[in-house]
């Protein structure tokens, strides 16, 4: 499945920044939600089920989309004004995940340009993998639905290692699985914690300007090595 329109801001054009590779690039690692795949419709649908169960009107997708990369935490905060540490949060998170489990592949598709990007990476002999904070029980069904599970050289979920992003361990674990030096790997994500994880792992980073970046403030302030307006722009910083 392909063809989700790009979700990023219109004021980011092409590729901003550059990477001075100490050695040739060997691989690209990607975040999943808001970077490779547009999952906002299904995540937002899960939140709206919780809202309707509580007599609240569904929220429009345009309001939910910027918070999709923050998963249950961000969407429950937006839609129900309940946050980690609040008494209701864990029970609502459990209910949200149960609702998402029922709809996780209904509308999810790859963003425009992602399929061609992955085809090009493979044709050029570059490895690629996925590092997401999404729980493993959701990651694999989504990847299967997108036809990516068997193609990806590493699939690291939020509960695959002892720490999730922004800790570097998930990225370093993916590099171990791919058999590559982190300094030769580009990590691509649409959330500030993605860039923080890459920096902690001492690997180059790219901010996905097409992703769900609205709730994170100014993407230019994250400190990414490059900002890509669309997926195929990434090819220019791998040379």
The residues assigned a catalytic role are: 31
Burial 116-152 (b: 16+ CB within 10 A, else e): ebbeebeeeebbbbbbbbbbeebbeebbebbebeeeb
**From CA 118, how far away is CA 100, in angstroms rounded?**
27
**From CA 237, how far away is CA 227, in angstroms rounded?**
10
For the chain, how many residues are written?
239
- The dihedral over CA atoms of 159, 53, 45, 194, expressed in degrees to the nearest 10, equals -40
DSSP class of residue 66?
G
**From CA 85, how far away is CA 102, in angstroms rounded?**
26
The helix/strand/coil state of 45 is helix
For tokens 């392909």, the residue is: 2
Q: Which two tokens stand for residue 69?
A: 């990369």
Burial tier of 58 (Cβ tally within 10 Å: 0-12, 13-18, 19+): middle
């Amino acid at each position: 499945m392909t063809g989700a329109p790009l979700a990023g801001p219109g004021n980011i054009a092409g590729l901003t920044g550059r990477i001075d590779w100490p050695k040739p690039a060997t691989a690209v690692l990607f975040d999943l939600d808001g970077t490779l795949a547009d999952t906002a419709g299904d995540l937002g649908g899960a939140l709206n089920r919780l809202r309707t169960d509580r007599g609240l009107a569904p929220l429009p997708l345009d309001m939910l989309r910027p918070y999709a990369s923050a998963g249950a935490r961000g969407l429950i905060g937006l839609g129900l004004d309940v946050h980690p540490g609040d008494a209701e949060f864990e029970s609502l998170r459990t209910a949200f995940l149960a609702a998402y489990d029922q709809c996780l592949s209904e509308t999810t598709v790859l963003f425009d340009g992602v399929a061609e990007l992955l085809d090009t990476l493979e044709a050029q002999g570059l490895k690629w993998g996925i590092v997401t904070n999404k729980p493993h029980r959701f990651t694999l069904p989504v990847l299967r639905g997108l036809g990516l599970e068997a193609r990806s050289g590493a699939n690291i979920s939020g509960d695959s290692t002892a720490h999730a992003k922004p800790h570097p361990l998930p990225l370093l674990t993916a590099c171990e699985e791919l058999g590559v030096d982190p300094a030769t790997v580009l990590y691509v994500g649409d959330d500030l914690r993605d860039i923080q994880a890459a920096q902690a792992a001492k690997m180059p980073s790219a901010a996905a300007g097409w992703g769900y970046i609205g709730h994170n403030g100014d993407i230019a302030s994250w400190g990414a090595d490059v900002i890509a307006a669309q997926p195929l722009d990434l090819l220019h910083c791998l040379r």
